[in-house]
Structures are given as structure tokens and as C-alpha cells.
Amino acid sequence: MNTRQQSKLTHCWYGKPLGSDRKLRTSQYKGIVIISESSKTEIYIQLGDFILVEGVNADQPYVAQLVDLYEDGAQHKRAVVQWFCRLEEIPQNKRKLLKREISAQEVFFDQVLGYDTDIAAETIIKSIMVVPLHLGEELPIITLNKEPTFYVKQSWDGKCFKVLSPDTFSKLKEANKKRGVITNTSKAFIPSDILTPAKKEMESVVRSAAKPKKVDMEIESKHSSSKSSLAKERHSQRVANNDIKTPTARKKLELNSPTRSKGRLLGCEVLDLLDDDCDAIAPLQPSATKRKVKFTSEILGSPPKIPCSNKSTSSTSVTAEHHQSFSDTIRLSPCTEVKEFSDEDKDLREKDGIPSLGGYRKQSSQSPVLTPRSRRTCAQKTSALIAEQISMLDQEDFLSDSDSSYSSSSEEEEDDDVPCTPKKKTKSSRIFSTPKSSRNSAVHTPAKTLRKTPLKETPRTPRNATPEIPRRIQAAQEPASVLEEARLRLHVSAIPESLPCREEEFQDIYNFVESKLIDGTGGCMYISGVPGTGKTATVHEVIRCLQQAAENDELPPFQFVEINGMKLTDPHQAYVQILEFLTGQKVTATHAAVLLAKLFSTPGPKRKTTVLIVDELDLLWTRKQNVMYNLFDWPTQRHSKLIILAIANTMDLPERIMMNRVASRLGLTRMSFQPYTYKQLQQIVSSRLKGVKAFEEDAVQLVSRKVAALSGDARRCLDICRRATEICELSRQKRAPEMVRMAHVTEAIDEMFSSPYVSAIRNASLHEQIFLKAILAEFRRAGVEEATVQQIYHHHVALCRMEGLQSPTVSETMAICSRLGACRLLLMEASNKYLHMRVRLNLSQDDVMYALREE
């Protein structure tokens, strides 16, 4: 998408060069103009602006701040940037260091040193906004702004996250402010001291209303409830006949409804109220105190309404939960949130003065008249508890005071219909005061996991569900005996700690990749060897070691991509898979090829080296060989940083099936894995069996020799050993546990290598045997190892006459013939030729003779 867009963008300098360096023949500029031909718009970008830079993934361009612009000697427009990195760019294993959820719009101030900050100016796409925030602050959602906006809270230096240092913070802020003046963005970012308190108030409520996180819903509405006393009073005054609405609104505010939808409703309502009041705030201010009294009296009237309308929803737990989450949020972000809160409260106090508080006090002191005294004390106890909690968090006295008074009042209001003991109360508050891990997460996680793991029964699952085989109910049994243990270790899938007998190859590959990684260049290596000689295992081991080294910062980090020719349905699918590994995009094969070619041929600013393993290379062969050509062409590009390890079976694959231009690009770095010798096989088996006394030394040697003589396939060797343990186990039943002896191994070998033909012939029916004899006779007669059924049939009839058997009809003979053909004892032509079908033996005549003579 962006690739097309980009092609129509023209970049030119804005204004005259600021200064130039004669020596380097560069000249600096203060801005750049991007002209888009399609829409005829011009985007003007200045130094210090935040920009999007074209990246690996077209849908997710990089975020950066423009630091410098210059034109170098070769007339190339260059730009120096300060990077920001997205969450996706941070390695998976480091993400958990964050310990919080990150929204898609959040970026990190990038302090990783490895990245190239000097980029081509042509890669700049457009300008954006990056807003610095304090750690605890929530992301505001700006709907009025068309431009995409990002938020930065922390910096990332490749190893850990840090809070933004004050000067970077202010620098970013400054950049924003400057930009704000230029582009006339929303006032939300103009420093707050310019604004009137009322406006600020509105802003915070707007923010609270739109806030996505539930936890914060409560605290914000809490604010607004205290503020709404101010707002509502006016509202009630202005809209005198709307009395019924006010108490319900108030009720909602105080209950701090736990459900999200309600919260949103509440937010909207408050927003409405405030919107109305904003205009009227100035004239109303002087008379605020007077109306306060009126308001409280109104409140006093409302309590009877609240309990009755509220019976279903209100419970102690509701409020208690609210307190809990409230304190949670406070704990989460003690320094910022609370400060903001207290600031606002101070503002409130300045505006309303003590009377507002007094109003609350009055209310709380008056409502107890309705309730028994004991309950009031319990409420006070809880409020004291909460106050204690909050004071622990170093809060200002005033805040805790108002908070506790608030909570007590709300609690008392609801306690009217829910009788409760002080004990329960304190208990609940104690429970809820447990640190943040608790309740919210506990409630939410089950639902989430349910949705994520697609059960069989669930009719609808999310689109990108990860498929899963159902869990087994019973745990797999652990190996009980020595033999079982040995069998487990001998399974091919068991990963040994080290790969014996491949140290040299390992070192070679390791050195190759390591040197390329350090140089930051690309390269190819071709690895060949017969199946089962440990090619893939060795390469994987190398990658594992390299990854470990990269994690320990001994090597530059790299990306690892693996494709297997056998696991692709079509050679062109290779592009799709590689692209998906690299960027997570899913596109068609042809588009993927274009994107990859672009990716590897253009200098990317933040690109890591990519190590690509191509297993079963020969299956990527196509008539035009364009897949292979591209694969091996990319590493030769200057900017690709691509290392390819190609694996295949045949040693001379490049010469045999590749065209010259492909083969030459593959280069001459080759390595071939020799089949294992019997000593190596022996070592492999014994290294796997280290510590388990299950095999006789001679038995292992026999297996190794046998396999080495045939193929040198380690898989085969392990399979035979495994089968031997099974045979041993079966025969063991009678006697005490024993080791795998020669006899068992021989049996296993016989089982695996025995030819089935002879026994198949011996177990065939009489006429089938006669038919085979007839074939032999006919072959001998004609001297050709091929005969038609008709000829054989004559011999067959003659043989039957000799044996004194009833001769079969032609149909029966045909049936016999086809049965033997199905077993592939015979090779036959297509059966529509009937009698003239030609037949040939699939095994040597001697074998047939041998098999038939025995009886």
C-alpha cells in the first residue's frame, strides 16, 4: 500500500540551506516539503518534527523524530533522526520486562546504539505527533485530530525500559509545543497553566470519559463525583424541572458502577453536564457557595429514592470493590495520578471553598439519622481503615479526608438496605486492600483464556485462533524401567545435549555465520549430505548457540527464519513464509516476492541481519528457477544483510539442476556431511545411552556396523536400537530384567531388512504358486523375461495336468494374476489387454525358485 503511495511522493527542500560544510560538501536545511502528486497536497516538515519512516513492514512504518536534514556531496537528501520503537520491534522475550499492557499507539524512546540514524530523506512518509506522557498517565484519545498520534512514556535501550529522563521529556514536550503552534493542533496539548481551571477540569473529564481501562474508570468518576457537586448544582439550578434526573445521575456517580457500559454512560453524562456548564461557569462562580446548600438539601431528599431503585445492584461488594480498585490505581501510579487528583481537588477547594466539603459533611452527618448508630460506627471504621491505607501511600491529608468522608457517606447510603456486621466489613476491605495482582485480573483472565483456547465445542472462535490438539486427560507415563528410559532416549526426537561426531562441521558453520554477522554482510552456504546425517540438527544447534551469544551481547542480534521445501505446497510459497516470519504480513506469493525484493535491495535503517535456513532446497526447483535465483541473489545485494544456509541431499545439486546464473550466485561455500561411519554411529548411540545400562557393547557395535554398511543413516540406527529394546522387553517377561543382547539386535535387524517376497510366495495359494512356476517355465522357453498371460496360461494348464489338479478357467487365471500383481510380485500392463497382457517378475527368478522349492 505504502509502496505505491511512496512512489508518487516528491521530496524537496524547504527554504535556503542554513549552513553548509565546505569540507564535507554538505548543506543543511531546516525543513523539507513532501509533495504528493496524487492528492496535490504538500506536507511541510521541520526539524524537530515527528515523522513516519518507511520500514520493513509497509503497514507499520517506523516512528522517529527529525534531528537534522542535509544534502550530501552526491546530491542525496539525507536526514538524521532519533528513533522511537514500537512494541513489535522489541524482542518477544524482552517484552515481559514491561509488566504492563501496551496500547498500539505507544512507542518507546529508542536508545539502542546499533541502529543507523542517518537515513535517506526519501523514506520519510509524513509527519505525526508523538506526545510524551508520565509513566502512570493514561493515553488520551484525541478524536479531533486527523493525524496519527503516538505516545511515549519510557525509553528502551536494548536491554531494559527506563522512565524518560526529565530533559528528554521536556525536549519532546517542547518539540510538541512548537509544533502545536505551527499546525494549530488541539488545545489539549497546550500547557495547562494557560487554561482556566474550568477548562482543565473539562479536559480531565473528557479524558476520563473516554478512557479505555476499567480500573481507571472508577477513579475518574470519583473525581467527577466530587466535581459534579459543583456541576450538578448548577445544572439542577438551571434545569429546575429536571430534578428526577439529577439524583439518578448522582446515584450512578456514587455507586461507581462496576460495569463498563454503565461507566461509559456515566462519563457521557458528566461530559454533557460539564459541556453545558462550561459556558456558564464564569457567571456562576460567585454564587457557588450559596447554591451548595440547596444542592445538599436536594440530596437529602433523594436518599429514599436511591435505595429503592437500587436494590438489585447495590451491595456492599460493589462499593467495596470500587474502593479496592481505587486504591489499586493509586498504588499503581502513586506519584502522578494522585498528584493530579490532589491538584484538581485543590482547585476545587479554591473554587468552592470549604462549603463543598461542608456540604458533604453535612450530608454524611444527616443521613445517619436514618440509620442505626452501630452501622454508622462500622462505616466510620472502614473509612478509617481506608484512610489509613491511603495515608500509607503518602497522600495529602485533605484528600484522604474527603475520600473517607465520601466513602463513608456512600456506604451508609447503601447500607440502608443491606445489613452487615462490622466484622464482615473490615474483612472485605482487608481483602480488597491486597496488592494489585488480585481481583480484577482474576475476574478477567478466565474469560480471556476461554476465548483464546478454542475448545471443540465452542461454535465460534476468534479469527486468528491458534489451533490446538486437545490436551490429554491423563499425564503421559514416565518411563518405569531401564529399557523404557533407554527407548525414550533413543527416539529420534529426543534432543541430545551435544551432537557427537559433528563437531567439525558445527564449527565450520558457526564460524561462517558468525563472521558474516559481525561484518554485517550477506552470504550463502550450501550443505549437502544423505538423509539422516544430522544436517538439520547441526544447523539448528548452530543457530541456538548463536542466539545465545546474541542474547549475551557477544554478537549483534539477528533474525532467524526457517523454511522447508517439503512443507511448502508450492515453491513460490517460500516468499510468503519468509515475509510472514519477518514482518507478520500475509500476502500473495507474487506480492510477497516484490516486497521481499524491495526489502533486501534497499538500505533499511533499522534492519537486523537475517539468517535464513532453506531445508530441502531441491524442492524449490521450478522451471524458470526464479525462486532459487531470487533467494541466492538477495545476499549479494549490498544492503541485504541476509545469510542463507541451504540444505539438500545431493552434493552436486548446484551443477545438476541449477542454471549457471543460479549456481554462480550460490557461491562456493559448500559443505558436505559424510555418512556416519560405524564408529561414529556407535558413539552416537552410546552418548545417548550415557548413564543407562541397557545395551551390551557388542550389540551396539553390531547395529552400527550393519547400518554404516548400508546407509550411514543415524535415524535408522536409532530405530533399530529402539526396536531391539522392545523385543528385549517382550522376551524379558519370564526372566529378570536384562540388557539388550546380540540376539535381540539381530532379530530387530532381520525384521527391518528382511525381504518379504519369499515369505509372501510361500504363503500364497497353490494355484498362485503354480502360476509362478508357469511363468518361470515360459521364461525359460522363450528366453525373454516377459510373457503374455495367454502363453503362461498354456503352461499353467499343462502343469495342472501334471499335478492332477483341475485346471482353472481363464477368468480364474486372470484373478490369480491380478492378485499377484497387487502384491507386486508381478509387474503387469494395464489390464484391458486381457489375454495379451504382458507380465514380468518383480524379483529374480532364483528367488522364486528358492521359495517354491522348499515345499
Interactions with another protein, residue window 814-853 (CB under 8 A): 815-816, 819, 822-825, 833-836, 842
| Interacting residue with another protein among 470, 691, 783, 804 (CB under 8 A) | 470
CA-to-CA separations, 221 to 257, 265, 441, 513, in angstroms, rounded: 9, 11, 21, 58
* Span from 53-61, 86-94, 378-386, 472-480 in contact with another protein (CB under 8 A): 472-480
- Judged by CB under 8 A, the chain residues 421 through 450 that form the site for another protein are none
Q: What beta strand segments (E) does 1-158 contain?
A: 9-14, 19-21, 26-29, 31-36, 41-46, 50-53, 62-71, 77-86, 106-110, 118-120, 124-132, 149-156
Site for another protein in 492-521 (CB under 8 A): 492-495
Within 345-374, which residues bind another protein (CB under 8 A)? none
Decide if residue 767 touches another protein (CB under 8 A): yes
Q: How far is the CB of 561 from another protein (least distance, A)?
A: 14
Rounded to whole angstroms, how far apart are CA atoms 27 and 14? 13
The answer to whether 763 contacts another protein (rule: CB under 8 A) is yes
Q: What are the backbone angles phi and psi of residue 71, rounded to the nearest 5°?
A: -120, 125
Angle at 96 between CA 104 and CA 148, to 5 degrees: 15
Nearest distance from C-beta of residue 345 to another protein, angstroms: 49
Q: Which residue stretch of 147-155, 249-257, 677-685, 765-773 sits at the interface with another protein (rule: CB under 8 A)?
A: 765-773
Residue type, 224: S
Burial (CB count within 10 angstroms: exposed 0-12, middle 13-18, buried 19+), residue 435: exposed
149 or 680: CB nearest another protein: 680
Cβ distance to another protein smaller for residue 111 or 461: 461
Smallest distance from another protein to CB 567, Å: 6
Cβ atoms of residues 342 and 399 within 8 Å? yes
> Min. distance of Cβ 444 from another protein in angstroms?
23
Residue 388 binds another protein (CB under 8 A): no
Size of residue set near another protein by CB under 8 A: 87
Please list every residue from 706 through 745 that binds another protein, using CB under 8 A.
713, 715-716, 719-720, 722-723, 726, 730
Q: What residues numbered 539-578 form the site for another protein, per CB under 8 A?
A: 566-570, 573, 576-577
Cα distances (angstroms) measured from residue 292 to each of 83, 299, 356: 53, 11, 7
List 113, 811, 846, 854, residue binding another protein (CB under 8 A): 811
Number of other residues whose CB lies within 10 A of the CB of residue 589: 16
Answer for the pair 227, 205: CB distance below 8 angstroms, yes or no: yes
Residues 100-139 that bind another protein (CB under 8 A): none
Nearer to another protein, 393 or 835 (CB): 835
Residues 597-656 close enough to bind another protein by CB under 8 A: 616, 619, 649
Q: Which is nearer to another protein, 548 or 763 (CB)?
A: 763
Separation of alpha carbons 665 and 180, rounded Å: 53
CA 11 – CA 36 distance, rounded (Å): 9
Closer residue to another protein, CB minimum distance, 120 or 814: 814
Of 166, 459, 691, 804, the one binding another protein by CB under 8 A: 459
Residue length of the chain: 855
CA 336 to chain CA centroid, Å, is: 32
CA distance 137 to 150: 14
- What is the Cα–Cα distance from 741 to 728, expressed in whole angstroms? 8
463: contact with another protein by CB under 8 A: yes
Per CB under 8 A, which of residues 207..266 are in contact with another protein? none
Smaller CB distance to another protein: residue 564 or 683?
A: 564
Query: 225: closest CA among 111, 313, 356, 369?
Result: 356
**Residue 257: strand, helix, or coil:** coil
CA distances from residue 623 to 33, 639, 672 in whole angstroms, order as listed: 47, 29, 26
- Contact residues for 382 (Cβ-Cβ < 8 A; gap 6+): 407, 408, 411, 425, 426, 429
Please give the Cα distance from 545 to 555 (Å, whole number). Answer: 11
Instruction: Report the residue number, 425 or 535, with the smaller CB distance to another protein.
Output: 535
State in angstroms the smallest separation of the CB of 730 from another protein: 7
Instruction: Identify which of residues 553 and 812 has a Cβ nearer to another protein in the complex.
Output: 812
Contact 725, 738 (CB under 8 A): no
Strands lying side by side in the sheet with 787-788: 787-788, 838-841, 826-828
Tell me whether residue 181 or residue 450 sits nearer to another protein (CB atom).
450
Q: What is the pairing mode between strands 41-46 and 31-36?
A: antiparallel
Q: Which is nearer to another protein, 357 or 720 (CB)?
A: 720
* Cβ neighbours for 533, distance < 8 A, ≥ 6 positions apart: 673, 674, 675, 676, 712, 713, 714
| Binding segment (CB under 8 A) for another protein, from list 44-52, 400-408, 592-600, 811-819 | 811-819
Closest CA to 132 of 179, 185, 172: 172
Contact present, 83 and 117 (Cβ < 8 Å): yes
**Block residue for cell numbers 446515584:** 251
End-to-end CA distance of the chain: 78
Q: Are 729 and 482 in contact (CB under 8 A)?
A: no
Tell which one of 446, 691, 756, 804 touches another protein (CB under 8 A).
756
742/797 with CB nearer another protein = 797
By the rule CB under 8 A, 809 interacts with another protein: yes
- Which of the stretches 75-83, 158-166, 685-693, 766-774 binds another protein when contact is defined by CB under 8 A? 766-774
- Measured from the CB atom, the residue of 607 and 767 that comes closer to another protein is 767
Q: Which member of 441, 765, 831, 844 binds another protein (CB under 8 A)? A: 765
CB 386 within 8 A of CB 401: no
Distance of closest approach, residue 757 Cβ to another protein, in angstroms = 6
Among 286, 462, 783, 804, which residue sits at the site for another protein (rule: CB under 8 A)? 462
Residue closer to another protein, measured from CB, 64 or 761: 761
Rounded to the nearest whole angstrom, what is the least distance from the CB of residue 656 to another protein in the complex? 15
Contact status: 590 vs another protein (CB under 8 A): no
Q: Which is nearer to another protein, 139 or 576 (CB)?
A: 576
Interface residues for another protein in 521-540 (CB under 8 A)? Answer: 530-532
Asked whether position 783 contacts another protein by CB under 8 A, the answer is no
Q: Tell me the three cell numbers of residue 819.
A: 492378485
DSSP-based three-state secondary structure for 539: helix
Choices 183-191, 401-409, 692-700, 813-821 (CB under 8 A): range interacting with another protein: 813-821
Q: Closest separation between CB of residue 469 and another protein, Å?
A: 4
Q: Does 461 bind another protein (CB under 8 A)?
A: yes
Tell the burial category of 855 from Cβ atoms under 10 Å away from its Cβ (0-12, 13-18, 19+): exposed
CB of residue 833 vs another protein: minimum separation in angstroms? 7
Measured from the CB atom, is 7 or 464 closer to another protein?
464
The correct pick among 4, 460, 693, 735 for binding another protein (CB under 8 A) is 460
* Residue pair 716/707 in contact by the 8 Å Cβ criterion: yes
Binding status of residue 488 toward another protein by CB under 8 A: yes
Q: Among residues 437, 466, 498, 552, which is the contact residue for another protein, using CB under 8 A? A: 466
The C-alpha cell that represents 581 in the structure block? 516470519
